Amino acid sequence: MKQGESSMKSGLEKCWKKLWKLEVPRNVKNFLWKACQGVLPTRLNLYKKQAVDSPIYMVCKKEAELEVHVLWRCVAANDIWNDAASLVQKWNVNEMDFLEFWIRCTETLNEVTLSWVAVMLRKIWLRRNNFLFEGRMIERKRLVLGTNELMEEYKTAQARKQEGQQGGTSTNNTRKWETPSEGYIKANWDAALHEDVKEMGIGVIVWDCEGEVLVSLLAKRSFNSKPVLAECLALYRAMVLCHELSLCNVIFEGDAQSVVKAVKSKEENWLWFGQVVDDIKELLKRRQDWKVAWVPREENGVAHQLAKFGFNYSNEIVMIEESPEFISGNVLFNKLYN
């Protein structure tokens, strides 16, 4: 083996070791691995597969959408890396691909800074997604603040987990949300009411067996009826969402016991909100790999938070592989305790 090849192999081994040991959420590590492998759904990759008609990055409209361009080289990313609160002030741009860039990061940055950069890189990618799919460009300050908050919340959740392990219990004997079994997905759903203004909020969060968020939804609807109907509508929206995403082996968890009981009942339906229940049952008939389950409120807290926060938005918000920053602490807590 030539000396250059040996050096490259050594650099890659160190790169992967540092990547998987980072003190960051697993979805950040998975994102970086995909970026290093060049398999993110960039427009260049989609163009090669003839899925789009141009490889140009739609934010700057100047260069092909390479991973390293979106996350580091593009002028649209400069405002973030040059922010006064950034832990990394952008160096000269010489890297031709993202793997080369990430190897340089692992060789020059300490662990704390490297972890911060890792979280920020994923935030920049999600910012790109928001712009492409929703027409919204998240402000620089909000992005930097969100990265700092996520790092602090992750440290806090890790510390709480360690304290619980040392004390012999992770939750002080209180109930906690549990990840689904391998091969299954959980979709937690809930509704909240503002009866004075005749509105309801809907919250849905979908998790995989490792506690990673696959999709989250929050919405506001005009509503002037009883809570049980609001819960039915929230469950139905969760099911439609999972159907739209072609998700299999889904367990729909909610804390509305009367709704879960009605949906699971095999008796003839004479309930006043029976039409929505029948619609839900029809979906379940077509999806034999789906089921509905009841959980106590304390195990459905994240969905409840989303439902309450839905009142703040005029339009429905759907976030793929992401959740709003205001629930990130609870999301991390759920993941780390499973």
- Per-residue confidence (pLDDT) for residue 79, from 0 to 100: 80
Give the count of beta carbons closer than 10 Å to the beta carbon of residue 161.
17
Find, among 44, 19, 12, the residue nearest to 33 by Cα. 19
Whether residue 176 lies inside any domain: the answer is: no
Residues 107, 216, single domain; the answer is no
- Are 333 and 23 a contacting pair, CB within 8 Å? no
- Per-residue confidence (pLDDT) for residue 165, from 0 to 100: 56
Structure-token pair, residue 85? 């609160």
Structural domain count of the chain: 2
Residues 14, 149, single domain; the answer is yes
**CATH number of the domain encompassing residue 318:** 3.30.420.10
Find, among 211, 230, 280, 272, the residue nearest to 252 by Cα. 280
- Per-residue confidence (pLDDT) for residue 173, from 0 to 100: 45
Render pLDDT for 48-93 as a digit per residue (tens, 0 to 9): 988 889 999 999 999 999 999 999 989 888 888 887 677 776 666 5
Residues 310, 257, single domain; the answer is yes
Bridge partners, residue 252, by sequence? 187, 292
> How far is Cα 63 from Cα 225, in angstroms, rounded to an integer?
53
Name residue 216's amino acid: S
**Residue segments in the chain with a per-residue pLDDT below the cut of 50:** 1, 169-174
Q: Supply the range of the domain harboring residue 92.
A: 3-164
